[in-house]
Amino acid sequence: MGARPNFMKIAPILRAIEKFNTDPQTEHHRLDPCLVHTGQHYDFEMSRIFFKDLDLPEPDVHLGIGSGMHGEQTGRVMIEFEKVLVAEKPDLVIVVGDVNSTLACTLASVKLNIPVAHVEAGLRSFDRTMPEEINRVVTDVLSTYLFTPSPDADENLKREGIQEERIFRVGNVMVDSLIASKQKALKSSILNNLGLAENGHASAHSLGNRSYALLTLHRPSNVDDQESFLKILKALQVISKEVPILFPMHPRSKKQLETFGLRHCFQPLYPPLKVGNAGIYSLAPLGYLHFLRLMMSATFVVTDSGGIQEEATALGVPCLTIRSITERPITVNEGSNTLVGNNTERIIEEASNILNGRGKKGVIPDLWDGKTAERIMSILGEMAIK
Protein backbone atom coordinates (compact mmCIF):
# COMPACT_ATOMS: atom_id res chain seq x y z
CA MET A 1 0.00 0.00 0.00
CA GLY A 2 1.15 3.54 -0.60
CA ALA A 3 -1.52 6.18 -1.04
CA ARG A 4 -4.66 7.28 0.76
CA PRO A 5 -7.17 5.18 -1.22
CA ASN A 6 -5.17 1.99 -0.51
CA PHE A 7 -5.55 1.88 3.26
CA MET A 8 -9.28 1.09 3.42
CA LYS A 9 -8.76 -1.70 0.87
CA ILE A 10 -5.87 -3.33 2.72
CA ALA A 11 -7.45 -3.27 6.21
CA PRO A 12 -10.18 -5.89 5.49
CA ILE A 13 -7.70 -8.11 3.61
CA LEU A 14 -5.38 -8.17 6.62
CA ARG A 15 -8.30 -9.04 8.88
CA ALA A 16 -9.29 -11.89 6.54
CA ILE A 17 -5.70 -13.22 6.63
CA GLU A 18 -5.83 -13.12 10.43
CA LYS A 19 -9.09 -15.06 10.39
CA PHE A 20 -7.60 -17.64 8.02
CA ASN A 21 -4.63 -18.00 10.36
CA THR A 22 -6.82 -18.70 13.39
CA ASP A 23 -9.10 -21.17 11.64
CA PRO A 24 -8.35 -24.68 13.05
CA GLN A 25 -9.06 -26.20 9.62
CA THR A 26 -6.12 -24.36 8.07
CA GLU A 27 -3.75 -25.11 10.93
CA HIS A 28 -0.99 -26.43 8.65
CA HIS A 29 -1.16 -23.56 6.19
CA ARG A 30 -0.48 -20.44 8.21
CA LEU A 31 0.25 -17.30 6.23
CA ASP A 32 2.89 -14.83 7.30
CA PRO A 33 1.84 -11.42 5.97
CA CYS A 34 4.41 -8.67 5.52
CA LEU A 35 2.80 -5.24 5.30
CA VAL A 36 4.73 -2.78 3.14
CA HIS A 37 3.95 0.96 3.03
CA THR A 38 5.70 2.61 0.10
CA GLY A 39 5.26 6.08 1.59
CA GLN A 40 3.77 7.55 -1.63
CA HIS A 41 1.54 9.53 0.75
CA TYR A 42 3.19 10.71 3.93
CA ASP A 43 1.31 13.64 5.53
CA PHE A 44 -0.44 12.76 8.78
CA GLU A 45 -3.88 13.40 7.23
CA MET A 46 -3.05 11.44 4.05
CA SER A 47 -1.63 8.35 5.74
CA ARG A 48 -1.06 8.03 9.49
CA ILE A 49 -4.62 8.90 10.59
CA PHE A 50 -5.98 6.00 8.50
CA PHE A 51 -3.96 3.52 10.56
CA LYS A 52 -5.77 4.59 13.69
CA ASP A 53 -9.19 4.90 12.06
CA LEU A 54 -8.98 1.52 10.36
CA ASP A 55 -7.13 -0.37 13.12
CA LEU A 56 -4.29 -1.09 10.73
CA PRO A 57 -1.13 -2.55 12.28
CA GLU A 58 2.18 -0.75 11.89
CA PRO A 59 3.72 -1.60 8.51
CA ASP A 60 6.50 -4.19 8.71
CA VAL A 61 8.44 -2.14 6.18
CA HIS A 62 8.16 1.56 5.31
CA LEU A 63 9.91 2.57 2.09
CA GLY A 64 9.59 6.34 2.59
CA ILE A 65 9.33 7.08 -1.15
CA GLY A 66 7.41 10.39 -1.06
CA SER A 67 6.33 12.54 -4.01
CA GLY A 68 7.88 12.97 -7.44
CA MET A 69 7.13 12.79 -11.14
CA HIS A 70 5.59 9.56 -12.35
CA GLY A 71 8.78 7.89 -13.58
CA GLU A 72 10.73 8.99 -10.55
CA GLN A 73 8.11 7.90 -8.00
CA THR A 74 7.39 4.59 -9.76
CA GLY A 75 11.10 3.90 -10.21
CA ARG A 76 11.96 4.61 -6.60
CA VAL A 77 9.21 2.28 -5.36
CA MET A 78 10.48 -0.46 -7.70
CA ILE A 79 14.07 -0.12 -6.48
CA GLU A 80 13.14 -0.20 -2.80
CA PHE A 81 10.36 -2.80 -3.07
CA GLU A 82 12.66 -5.16 -4.97
CA LYS A 83 14.99 -5.19 -1.96
CA VAL A 84 12.07 -6.22 0.27
CA LEU A 85 11.15 -9.00 -2.16
CA VAL A 86 14.69 -10.31 -2.20
CA ALA A 87 14.85 -10.31 1.61
CA GLU A 88 11.35 -11.68 2.30
CA LYS A 89 10.95 -14.08 -0.66
CA PRO A 90 7.13 -13.99 -0.58
CA ASP A 91 5.00 -16.58 -2.35
CA LEU A 92 2.54 -13.92 -3.41
CA VAL A 93 2.26 -10.13 -3.53
CA ILE A 94 -1.16 -8.54 -3.07
CA VAL A 95 -1.70 -5.08 -4.54
CA VAL A 96 -4.84 -2.95 -4.47
CA GLY A 97 -6.25 -0.12 -6.58
CA ASP A 98 -4.52 1.86 -9.28
CA VAL A 99 -1.96 4.23 -7.80
CA ASN A 100 1.69 4.44 -8.85
CA SER A 101 2.69 2.16 -5.95
CA THR A 102 0.31 -0.53 -7.27
CA LEU A 103 2.03 -0.53 -10.65
CA ALA A 104 5.56 -0.29 -9.26
CA CYS A 105 5.16 -3.19 -6.81
CA THR A 106 3.55 -5.34 -9.50
CA LEU A 107 6.41 -4.74 -11.95
CA ALA A 108 9.08 -5.41 -9.34
CA SER A 109 7.35 -8.66 -8.28
CA VAL A 110 6.72 -10.22 -11.68
CA LYS A 111 10.30 -9.47 -12.76
CA LEU A 112 11.38 -11.71 -9.89
CA ASN A 113 8.77 -14.33 -10.91
CA ILE A 114 6.67 -13.67 -7.83
CA PRO A 115 2.94 -13.90 -8.65
CA VAL A 116 0.70 -10.90 -7.99
CA ALA A 117 -2.94 -10.74 -6.90
CA HIS A 118 -4.65 -7.50 -7.93
CA VAL A 119 -7.63 -6.44 -5.87
CA GLU A 120 -9.97 -4.06 -7.75
CA ALA A 121 -8.94 -5.44 -11.14
CA GLY A 122 -10.63 -4.79 -14.48
CA LEU A 123 -11.78 -1.19 -14.02
CA ARG A 124 -11.33 0.85 -17.20
CA SER A 125 -12.02 4.48 -18.04
CA PHE A 126 -10.61 3.95 -21.57
CA ASP A 127 -8.84 7.27 -21.08
CA ARG A 128 -5.09 6.74 -21.21
CA THR A 129 -4.41 10.37 -20.27
CA MET A 130 -5.33 9.29 -16.71
CA PRO A 131 -2.25 7.96 -14.91
CA GLU A 132 -4.47 5.49 -13.05
CA GLU A 133 -5.67 3.93 -16.35
CA ILE A 134 -2.08 3.10 -17.33
CA ASN A 135 -1.52 1.65 -13.86
CA ARG A 136 -4.68 -0.48 -14.11
CA VAL A 137 -3.98 -1.86 -17.59
CA VAL A 138 -0.37 -2.82 -16.83
CA THR A 139 -1.11 -4.22 -13.37
CA ASP A 140 -3.92 -6.40 -14.72
CA VAL A 141 -1.98 -7.84 -17.63
CA LEU A 142 0.85 -8.83 -15.28
CA SER A 143 -1.23 -10.19 -12.38
CA THR A 144 -1.98 -13.87 -11.85
CA TYR A 145 -5.12 -13.41 -9.75
CA LEU A 146 -7.58 -10.70 -10.75
CA PHE A 147 -10.19 -9.89 -8.12
CA THR A 148 -12.96 -7.75 -9.61
CA PRO A 149 -15.74 -5.67 -8.03
CA SER A 150 -18.36 -5.82 -10.82
CA PRO A 151 -19.40 -7.63 -14.04
CA ASP A 152 -18.17 -4.76 -16.27
CA ALA A 153 -14.66 -5.34 -14.89
CA ASP A 154 -14.84 -9.06 -15.81
CA GLU A 155 -15.89 -8.13 -19.34
CA ASN A 156 -13.06 -5.61 -19.73
CA LEU A 157 -10.50 -8.21 -18.72
CA LYS A 158 -11.90 -10.88 -21.03
CA ARG A 159 -11.93 -8.40 -23.91
CA GLU A 160 -8.24 -7.77 -23.26
CA GLY A 161 -7.56 -11.48 -23.64
CA ILE A 162 -7.09 -12.37 -19.97
CA GLN A 163 -7.95 -16.02 -19.32
CA GLU A 164 -11.21 -16.52 -17.44
CA GLU A 165 -9.51 -18.81 -14.87
CA ARG A 166 -7.58 -15.79 -13.59
CA ILE A 167 -10.68 -13.63 -13.04
CA PHE A 168 -12.61 -13.84 -9.76
CA ARG A 169 -15.58 -11.56 -9.09
CA VAL A 170 -15.51 -11.00 -5.35
CA GLY A 171 -17.22 -7.61 -4.88
CA ASN A 172 -15.96 -4.31 -3.56
CA VAL A 173 -13.37 -4.48 -0.81
CA MET A 174 -13.73 -0.76 0.02
CA VAL A 175 -17.30 -1.46 1.04
CA ASP A 176 -15.98 -3.99 3.59
CA SER A 177 -14.27 -1.12 5.40
CA LEU A 178 -17.26 1.14 5.05
CA ILE A 179 -19.66 -1.41 6.57
CA ALA A 180 -17.18 -2.31 9.32
CA SER A 181 -16.68 1.38 10.22
CA LYS A 182 -20.20 2.84 10.09
CA GLN A 183 -20.90 2.45 13.81
CA LYS A 184 -17.56 3.98 14.74
CA ALA A 185 -18.15 6.84 12.29
CA LEU A 186 -21.44 7.63 14.00
CA LYS A 187 -19.41 8.48 17.09
CA SER A 188 -17.22 10.96 15.18
CA SER A 189 -17.30 14.47 16.59
CA ILE A 190 -17.08 16.12 13.18
CA LEU A 191 -20.71 17.24 12.85
CA ASN A 192 -20.63 18.84 16.29
CA ASN A 193 -17.26 20.41 15.63
CA LEU A 194 -18.54 22.01 12.44
CA GLY A 195 -21.84 23.11 13.95
CA LEU A 196 -23.81 20.73 11.77
CA ALA A 197 -25.43 18.49 14.35
CA GLU A 198 -28.65 19.22 16.17
CA ASN A 199 -28.27 17.90 19.70
CA GLY A 200 -25.41 15.82 18.45
CA HIS A 201 -27.61 14.02 15.95
CA ALA A 202 -27.95 14.45 12.25
CA SER A 203 -29.34 12.33 9.48
CA ALA A 204 -29.36 12.80 5.73
CA HIS A 205 -31.82 15.39 4.44
CA SER A 206 -33.05 16.22 7.94
CA LEU A 207 -30.95 19.21 8.77
CA GLY A 208 -33.18 21.80 7.16
CA ASN A 209 -31.15 24.88 6.35
CA ARG A 210 -28.16 23.25 7.98
CA SER A 211 -27.80 20.58 5.29
CA TYR A 212 -24.58 20.58 3.33
CA ALA A 213 -22.84 19.23 0.27
CA LEU A 214 -19.48 17.48 0.57
CA LEU A 215 -16.84 18.15 -2.07
CA THR A 216 -13.57 16.44 -3.00
CA LEU A 217 -11.54 17.49 -6.01
CA HIS A 218 -7.99 16.49 -6.82
CA ARG A 219 -7.74 14.91 -10.29
CA PRO A 220 -4.92 16.49 -12.31
CA SER A 221 -7.33 17.00 -15.28
CA ASN A 222 -9.58 19.13 -13.05
CA VAL A 223 -7.23 20.97 -10.72
CA ASP A 224 -3.99 21.28 -12.69
CA ASP A 225 -5.81 22.86 -15.64
CA GLN A 226 -6.83 26.43 -14.78
CA GLU A 227 -9.68 26.66 -17.31
CA SER A 228 -11.22 23.46 -16.03
CA PHE A 229 -10.79 24.48 -12.39
CA LEU A 230 -12.54 27.82 -13.09
CA LYS A 231 -15.50 26.15 -14.80
CA ILE A 232 -16.01 23.87 -11.81
CA LEU A 233 -15.53 26.70 -9.34
CA LYS A 234 -18.15 28.82 -11.12
CA ALA A 235 -20.72 26.06 -10.64
CA LEU A 236 -19.73 25.55 -7.01
CA GLN A 237 -20.15 29.24 -6.29
CA VAL A 238 -23.73 29.16 -7.64
CA ILE A 239 -24.59 25.97 -5.74
CA SER A 240 -23.06 27.25 -2.51
CA LYS A 241 -25.65 30.04 -2.42
CA GLU A 242 -28.27 27.31 -1.86
CA VAL A 243 -26.32 24.93 0.31
CA PRO A 244 -22.97 25.26 2.08
CA ILE A 245 -20.22 23.18 0.53
CA LEU A 246 -17.59 21.50 2.70
CA PHE A 247 -14.30 20.90 0.93
CA PRO A 248 -11.61 18.81 2.66
CA MET A 249 -8.77 19.87 0.41
CA HIS A 250 -6.22 17.48 -1.09
CA PRO A 251 -2.64 18.85 -1.04
CA ARG A 252 -2.53 18.88 -4.85
CA SER A 253 -5.67 21.09 -5.02
CA LYS A 254 -4.40 23.37 -2.27
CA LYS A 255 -1.19 23.93 -4.18
CA GLN A 256 -3.05 24.62 -7.43
CA LEU A 257 -5.49 27.07 -5.80
CA GLU A 258 -2.55 29.05 -4.56
CA THR A 259 -0.86 28.94 -7.97
CA PHE A 260 -4.03 30.22 -9.68
CA GLY A 261 -4.65 32.89 -7.01
CA LEU A 262 -8.05 31.41 -6.10
CA ARG A 263 -7.56 30.96 -2.36
CA HIS A 264 -10.01 33.80 -1.58
CA CYS A 265 -12.90 31.81 -3.16
CA PHE A 266 -12.76 29.35 -0.26
CA GLN A 267 -13.51 30.25 3.33
CA PRO A 268 -11.44 28.53 5.98
CA LEU A 269 -13.49 26.62 8.49
CA TYR A 270 -11.83 26.09 11.80
CA PRO A 271 -13.73 25.44 14.98
CA PRO A 272 -15.35 27.34 16.64
CA LEU A 273 -16.32 28.96 13.34
CA LYS A 274 -19.60 27.32 12.28
CA VAL A 275 -20.99 26.60 8.86
CA GLY A 276 -23.37 29.35 7.81
CA ASN A 277 -25.85 29.16 4.99
CA ALA A 278 -23.70 30.01 2.03
CA GLY A 279 -20.11 29.49 0.95
CA ILE A 280 -17.47 26.98 0.04
CA TYR A 281 -15.59 26.06 3.20
CA SER A 282 -12.13 24.55 3.01
CA LEU A 283 -10.94 22.02 5.57
CA ALA A 284 -7.72 20.08 5.96
CA PRO A 285 -7.93 16.52 4.52
CA LEU A 286 -9.98 14.38 6.90
CA GLY A 287 -9.38 10.96 8.37
CA TYR A 288 -11.51 8.00 7.35
CA LEU A 289 -14.09 8.13 10.14
CA HIS A 290 -14.73 11.90 10.04
CA PHE A 291 -15.07 11.78 6.26
CA LEU A 292 -17.38 8.78 6.35
CA ARG A 293 -19.53 10.55 8.96
CA LEU A 294 -19.80 13.62 6.72
CA MET A 295 -20.71 11.47 3.71
CA MET A 296 -23.40 9.63 5.68
CA SER A 297 -25.32 12.84 6.40
CA ALA A 298 -24.50 14.90 3.32
CA THR A 299 -27.40 16.03 1.16
CA PHE A 300 -25.14 15.12 -1.73
CA VAL A 301 -21.51 14.56 -2.63
CA VAL A 302 -19.55 16.25 -5.42
CA THR A 303 -16.33 14.48 -6.33
CA ASP A 304 -13.79 13.48 -8.94
CA SER A 305 -12.46 10.59 -6.87
CA GLY A 306 -12.96 6.98 -7.94
CA GLY A 307 -13.56 5.50 -4.51
CA ILE A 308 -16.02 8.13 -3.34
CA GLN A 309 -18.35 7.33 -6.25
CA GLU A 310 -18.44 3.80 -4.83
CA GLU A 311 -18.83 4.84 -1.20
CA ALA A 312 -21.71 7.20 -2.08
CA THR A 313 -23.34 4.31 -3.96
CA ALA A 314 -22.89 2.02 -0.96
CA LEU A 315 -24.50 4.67 1.28
CA GLY A 316 -27.28 5.62 -1.18
CA VAL A 317 -26.18 9.28 -1.06
CA PRO A 318 -26.59 11.18 -4.37
CA CYS A 319 -23.21 11.80 -5.97
CA LEU A 320 -22.23 14.19 -8.78
CA THR A 321 -18.97 13.16 -10.40
CA ILE A 322 -16.92 15.93 -11.99
CA ARG A 323 -15.71 13.70 -14.82
CA SER A 324 -17.13 12.85 -18.24
CA ILE A 325 -16.34 9.14 -17.89
CA THR A 326 -15.93 6.70 -15.06
CA GLU A 327 -14.07 3.42 -14.71
CA ARG A 328 -16.86 2.50 -12.28
CA PRO A 329 -19.98 2.53 -14.54
CA ILE A 330 -21.94 0.39 -12.08
CA THR A 331 -22.12 3.42 -9.75
CA VAL A 332 -24.05 5.25 -12.50
CA ASN A 333 -26.10 2.34 -13.90
CA GLU A 334 -27.10 0.94 -10.51
CA GLY A 335 -25.85 3.36 -7.87
CA SER A 336 -26.47 6.96 -6.84
CA ASN A 337 -23.85 8.49 -9.14
CA THR A 338 -24.36 10.97 -12.01
CA LEU A 339 -21.54 12.08 -14.32
CA VAL A 340 -21.57 15.83 -14.84
CA GLY A 341 -18.11 16.49 -16.33
CA ASN A 342 -16.69 19.96 -15.78
CA ASN A 343 -19.67 21.58 -17.50
CA THR A 344 -20.77 24.53 -15.33
CA GLU A 345 -24.46 24.46 -16.33
CA ARG A 346 -24.78 20.70 -16.00
CA ILE A 347 -23.25 20.68 -12.51
CA ILE A 348 -25.67 23.42 -11.38
CA GLU A 349 -28.65 21.68 -12.98
CA GLU A 350 -27.97 18.31 -11.37
CA ALA A 351 -27.30 19.89 -7.97
CA SER A 352 -30.57 21.75 -8.20
CA ASN A 353 -32.39 18.50 -9.10
CA ILE A 354 -31.04 16.99 -5.89
CA LEU A 355 -31.96 20.04 -3.82
CA ASN A 356 -35.47 19.81 -5.25
CA GLY A 357 -35.80 16.24 -4.04
CA ARG A 358 -34.96 14.53 -7.33
CA GLY A 359 -31.62 13.05 -6.23
CA LYS A 360 -30.65 9.54 -7.27
CA LYS A 361 -30.62 6.95 -4.49
CA GLY A 362 -29.74 3.91 -6.60
CA VAL A 363 -29.35 0.34 -5.41
CA ILE A 364 -26.36 -1.39 -3.86
CA PRO A 365 -24.59 -3.58 -6.44
CA ASP A 366 -24.34 -7.32 -6.00
CA LEU A 367 -21.53 -8.50 -3.67
CA TRP A 368 -20.93 -5.04 -2.18
CA ASP A 369 -21.85 -6.64 1.11
CA GLY A 370 -18.86 -6.34 3.44
CA LYS A 371 -17.60 -9.88 2.75
CA THR A 372 -15.30 -9.27 -0.21
CA ALA A 373 -12.02 -9.76 1.67
CA GLU A 374 -13.28 -13.08 3.04
CA ARG A 375 -14.09 -14.22 -0.50
CA ILE A 376 -10.59 -13.18 -1.63
CA MET A 377 -9.04 -15.08 1.25
CA SER A 378 -11.02 -18.21 0.64
CA ILE A 379 -9.75 -18.27 -2.98
CA LEU A 380 -6.14 -17.48 -2.02
CA GLY A 381 -6.37 -19.85 0.96
CA GLU A 382 -7.36 -22.70 -1.36
CA MET A 383 -4.32 -21.92 -3.53
CA ALA A 384 -2.09 -21.85 -0.44
CA ILE A 385 -3.40 -25.25 0.68
CA LYS A 386 -2.84 -26.73 -2.82
**Which positions are annotated as active-site residues?**
218
User: Could you tell me the smallest distance in angstroms from the CB atom of residue 202 to ligand UD1?
Assistant: 27
User: Could you tell me the smallest distance in angstroms from the CB atom of residue 131 to ligand UD1?
Assistant: 4
381 binds ligand UD1 (CB under 6 A): no
Instruction: Compare residues 109 and 211 and give the one whose CB is closer to ligand UD1.
Output: 109
Instruction: Compare residues 135 and 181 and give the one whose CB is closer to ligand UD1.
Output: 135
Among 50, 65, 100, 309, binds ligand UD1 (CB under 6 A): 100
104 binds ligand UD1 (CB under 6 A): no
31 close to 14: Cβ distance less than 8 angstroms: no
Instruction: Compare residues 324 and 353 and give the one whose CB is closer to ligand UD1.
Output: 324
Instruction: Compare residues 191 and 217 and give the one whose CB is closer to ligand UD1.
Output: 217
Residues 13-52 as x/- pattern, contact with ligand UD1 by CB under 6 A: ---------------------------xxxx--x------
Residues touching ligand UD1, count (CB under 6 A):
20
Tally of CB atoms within 10 A around 340: 23
If DSSP states are collapsed to H, E and C, what string results for the chain? CCCHHHHHHHHHHHHHHHHHHHCHHHCCCCCCCCCEECCCCCCHHHCHHHHHHCCCCCCCEECCCCCCCHHHHHHHHHHHHHHHHHHHCCCCEEEECCCHHHHHHHHHHHHCCCCEEEECCCCCCCCCCCHHHHHHHHHHHHCCEEEECCHHHHHHHHHCCCCHHHEEECCCHHHHHHHHHHHHHHCCCHHHHCCCCECCECCCCCCHHHCCEEEECCCHHHHCCHHHHHHHHHHHHHHCCCCCEEEECCHHHHHHHHHCCCHHHCEECCCCCCCCCCCEEEECCCCHHHHHHHHHHCCEEEECCHHHHHHHHHHCCCEEECCCCCCCCHHHHCCCEEECCCCHHHHHHHHHHHHHHHCCCCCCCCCCCCCHHHHHHHHHHHHHHC
251 binds ligand UD1 (CB under 6 A): yes
258 binds ligand UD1 (CB under 6 A): no
User: Could you tell me the smallest distance in angstroms from the CB atom of residue 349 to ligand UD1?
Assistant: 26
Residues 273-312 as x/- pattern, contact with ligand UD1 by CB under 6 A: --------------------------------x-------
User: Could you tell me the smallest distance in angstroms from the CB atom of residue 70 to ligand UD1?
Assistant: 7
Q: Pick the closest to residue 168 from 117, 102, 105, 116 (CA basis).
A: 117
169 binds ligand UD1 (CB under 6 A): no
User: Could you tell me the smallest distance in angstroms from the CB atom of residue 132 to ligand UD1?
Assistant: 5
Among 11, 78, 96, 99, binds ligand UD1 (CB under 6 A): 99
Binding segment toward ligand UD1, per CB under 6 A, in 2-10, 88-96, 202-210, 349-357: 2-10
Interface positions, 64-93, toward ligand UD1 (CB under 6 A): 67
Instruction: Compare residues 113 and 129 and give the one whose CB is closer to ligand UD1.
Output: 129
Binding residues for ligand UD1, rule: CB under 6 A, are 3-5, 40-43, 46, 67, 98-100, 131-132, 218, 250-252, 255, 305
